[in-house]
Amino acid sequence: MILKGVNLEVKPGEVHAIMGPNGSGKSTLANVLAGREEYEVTGGAVSFEGKDLLEMGPEDRAREGLFLAFQYPVEIPGVSNVNFMKTAVNEIREYRGLEKLDAMEFLSLVKEKMRLVEMDEKFLSRSVNEGFSGGEKKRNEIFQLAVLEPKLAIMDETDSGLDIDALRIVANGVNKLRSKERSFVVITHYQRLLNYIVPDFVHVLVNGKIVESGGKELALQLE
């Protein structure tokens, strides 16, 4: 059993940071919330806007507005960023009873979001994450987040492997996407990320349990 004591309430607009040593269950928590099938939930409950999250598959969780930024973003050879994102956006719009975006509307949207996250438009035609540097992969995930506009974004060690310049660009993108409606759960091993993405709450996860919670000052104590 990896997670055995996680009580957490995230309200709209809040940013929660989850910190803890390697092997404490941080990434497991992210994967369970996203619905990764290799994890079995044997007890407890997860409610998302009044709905039972554990009854939904990963696709429906995404359609409902949940987004997971992976610690190690996946490469998808042969699938361009632009086609991948257009399919995802229109899938969510259809699920919510909205009209699909046509090619021109979608292109206008993605160009606006690429400027927001300081990303070159040449990445649109490239295969998803294929041949990208670590920083480019992470920035591409922030771009995806910007386009999909989820209600809850879970950032699983987004700072992993980033130099300070890439970290700053990624953090700036996240900060631009903060809103009263959108919540973030930021999972990190290091306090440095929280210098750029300032959380409302910090939780310490050890051996699958949240052992301490507090404000942003708690992160400084952990260093």
**How do residues 10-69 score in pLDDT, each as one tens digit?**
999 999 999 988 888 888 888 888 888 888 888 888 999 999 998 999 999 999 999 988
Query: In this model, does residue 1 exceed pLDDT 70?
Result: no
Query: Residue 55's Cα: distance from chain center in Å?
Result: 21
Helix runs in the chain, H state only: 26-34, 58-64, 81-95, 103-116, 134-148, 164-177, 217-222
Query: In this model, does residue 2 exceed pLDDT 80?
Result: no
Considering Cα of 118, then 124, then 128, then 130, what sign does the dihedral take?
negative
Residue position matching structure tokens 């990624």 = 170
CATH superfamily of domain region 15-222:
P-loop containing nucleotide triphosphate hydrolases (3.40.50.300)
Residue 171 φ then ψ, to 5°: -65, -40
Domain ranges of the chain: 15-222
> Per-residue pLDDT averaged across 95-114, rounded?
93
**How do residues 198-221 score in pLDDT, each as one tens digit?**
999 999 998 888 898 999 888 777
Mean pLDDT lowest for which of 101-105, 109-113, 192-196? 192-196
